[in-house]
C-alpha cells in the first residue's frame, strides 16, 4: 500500500465541570511561556519544533489565546523522538510537530498511549541540492541523504521514485533504502537524522528534507527545491498529539479549536503564500 492511512480522532469536548490548571511538568527544553492569562484561564504546555509549529503557537498565543482563555507554554525541541517521549513522560500536555504516519510508527514502536487530532497543516517534502538544478543531472554514484526514521524515509523514497531517480520494489508497503528495484545511476542513499539533513547538504549531491527543517534552515521550498512534493491529496498532515483519554480535556479542546480556526488558516496562508505550509482543515 503506497499511501498511508490517516486516522482522525474527534476532539470535541465532553461536558466537563473542572477547570484545567497548568498540567504536566516543566519540559527539559526549558519552555517559554507566551501570552498572559488570569487564574481562571485554562493552561497547556505544548512541545513543538521551532518552524512552523512553535511559530504558529506563538502567533496564537499573541493574538487569540488570551481572549479564548488559554495560556500556552511552548517547549521547543529539535529532535523528533523528544516530542512523543516528552508527552508520554508528562513533560508536555500535548505536542505539535509530526504527521500521522510518523505518529503511528512511533506508537507501534514504543507503545505510547497517545492519540491525535485532525490534521492541522501540511509541509511538502523537497529535494534540495547545492550543486544541481535538475535531479535528472545527478551524477553516476551520486549521494542522496534521506531521513532515517521509517515513515519519513518511505516518503522520501517515493518522492525520489516519482522524480525518476530509481524505482522501488512494489511488493514492499513501506520501502527502505534496501528496497530499490532498479537503480540505473547507482545512487548511494545516506541515512541521517532528519534534523541533520539541511546542515549536511554540502556533503551530498542532494538531500530530501522535511518541510520544517527546510524552513528552519532558511530554505524556501517553492524556490530552492529541485523536486517538491505536491500538497494536493497529501496524506502527511501534521497533527496535535495528546495522552490517551485526554482528547476531551478543556485545554486540549481549546488548543485544537484555535489551531483549526479561520484566523489560523489566514495566518498560515499569509505567512507562507507559496505553499511552504498548507492548511489541512
The string of pLDDT tens digits covering residues 259-273 is 999 999 999 999 999
| Within-domain flag for 156 | yes
pLDDT of residue 41: 86
pLDDT in tens, 172-212: 999 999 999 999 999 999 999 999 999 999 999 999 999 99
How far is residue 73's CA from residue 43's CA, in Å, rounded to a whole number?
Answer: 8
Where is the domain boundary, 211, 228, 245? 228
Of 38-52, 186-200, 235-249, where does mean pLDDT reach its minimum?
Answer: 38-52
Which CATH number fits the domain that encloses residue 143? 3.40.190.10
Q: What is the domain extent for residue 160?
A: 126-228
Q: 137 and 212 share a domain?
A: yes
Residue 25 has pLDDT above 70, yes or no: no
What is the reported pLDDT for 6?
27
C-alpha cell at 141: 554514484
State the DSSP code for 196. G
Question: How confident is the model over 17-31, as a mean pLDDT?
Answer: 37
CA distance 86 to 75: 10
| Burial bucket for residue 278 (CB in 10 Å: 0-12, 13-18, 19+) | middle
Q: Under a CB-based contact definition with an 8 Å cutoff, are residues 118 and 11 in contact?
A: yes
Domain check: are 61 and 97 in the same one?
Answer: yes
Q: Are both 109 and 138 inside the same structural domain?
A: no
Among 228, 246, 267, residue at a domain's last position: 228
Residues in the chain: 281
Pick the last residue of a domain from 210, 228, 246. Answer: 228
What is the number of structural domains in the chain? 2
Q: Do 119 and 132 belong to one domain?
A: no
CA 155 – CA 221 distance, rounded (Å): 16
Cα separation of 63 and 56, whole Å?
11
Same domain, 222 and 155: yes
Q: Same domain for 119 and 130?
A: no
Residues 119 and 238 both lie in one domain: yes
Q: Please report which confidence band the pLDDT of residue 101 belongs to, taking 50, 70 and 90 as the band edges.
A: very high
4 confidence band (pLDDT: 50, 70, 90): very low
139 lies in the same domain as 97: no
Contact 125, 56 (CB under 8 A): no
Report yes or no on 109 lying in a domain: yes
- How many Cα neighbours within 13 Å face the side chain of 20? 23
User: Is 0.85 topped by the overall pTM?
Assistant: no
Q: What is the dihedral sign for C-alpha 163, 184, 198, 108?
A: positive
DSSP code at position 40: T
Around Cβ 197, how many Cβ atoms within 10 Å? 25
Residue in the block written with cell 512523543: 84
- Whether the ω angle into residue 52 lies within 30 degrees of 0, i.e. cis, is yes
- 130 and 223 belong to one structural domain: yes
What is the residue whose three cell numbers read 477547570? 19
pLDDT band (50, 70, 90) for residue 3: very low
- Of 39-48, 80-89, 136-145, 247-256, which range is least confident? 39-48
Q: Are residues 192 and 213 in the same domain?
A: yes
Q: What is the pLDDT of residue 23?
A: 37
Amino acid at each position: 500500500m503506497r499511501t498511508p492511512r490517516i486516522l482522525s480522532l474527534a476532539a470535541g469536548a465532553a461536558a466537563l465541570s473542572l477547570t484545567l490548571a497548568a498540567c504536566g511538568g516543566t519540559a527539559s527544553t526549558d519552555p517559554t511561556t507566551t501570552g498572559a492569562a488570569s487564574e481562571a484561564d485554562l493552561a497547556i504546555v505544548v512541545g513543538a519544533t521551532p518552524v512552523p509549529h512553535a511559530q504558529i503557537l506563538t502567533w496564537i498565543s499573541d493574538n487569540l489565546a488570551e481572549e479564548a482563555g488559554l495560556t500556552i507554554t511552548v517547549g521547543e525541541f529539535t529532535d523528533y523522538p523528544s516530542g512523543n517521549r516528552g508527552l508520554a513522560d508528562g513533560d508536555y500536555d500535548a505536542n505539535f510537530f509530526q504527521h500521522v504516519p510518523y505518529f503511528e510508527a512511533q506508537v507501534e514502536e514504543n507503545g505510547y498511549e497517545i492519540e491525535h487530532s485532525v490534521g492541522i497543516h501540511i509541509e511538502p517534502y523537497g529535494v534540495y541540492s547545492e550543486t544541481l538544478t535538475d535531479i535528472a543531472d545527478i551524477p553516476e554514484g551520486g549521494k542522496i541523504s534521506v531521513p532515517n526514521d521509517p515513515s519519513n524515509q518511505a516518503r522520501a523514497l517515493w518522492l525520489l521514485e516519482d522524480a525518476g531517480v530509481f524505482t522501488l520494489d512494489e511488493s514492499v508497503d513501506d520501502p527502505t533504502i534496501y528496497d530499490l528495484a532498479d537503480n540505473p545511476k547507482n545512487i548511494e542513499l545516506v541515512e541521517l537524522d532528519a534534523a541533520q539533513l539541511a546542515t549536511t547538504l554540502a556533503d551530498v549531491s542532494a538531500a530530501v528534507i522535511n518541510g520544517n527543517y527546510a524552513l528552519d534552515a532558511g530554505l524556501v521550498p517553492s524556490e530552492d527545491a529541485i523536486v517538491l512534493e505536491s500538497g494536493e491529496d497529501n496524506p502527511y498532515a501534521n497533527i496535535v498529539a495528546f495522552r490517551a483519554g485526554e482528547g476531551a480535556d478543556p485545554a486540549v479542546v481549546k488548543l485544537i479549536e484555535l489551531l483549526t480556526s479561520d484566523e489560523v488558516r489566514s495566518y498560515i496562508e499569509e505567512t507562507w503564500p507559496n505553499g511552504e505550509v498548507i492548511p489541512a482543515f
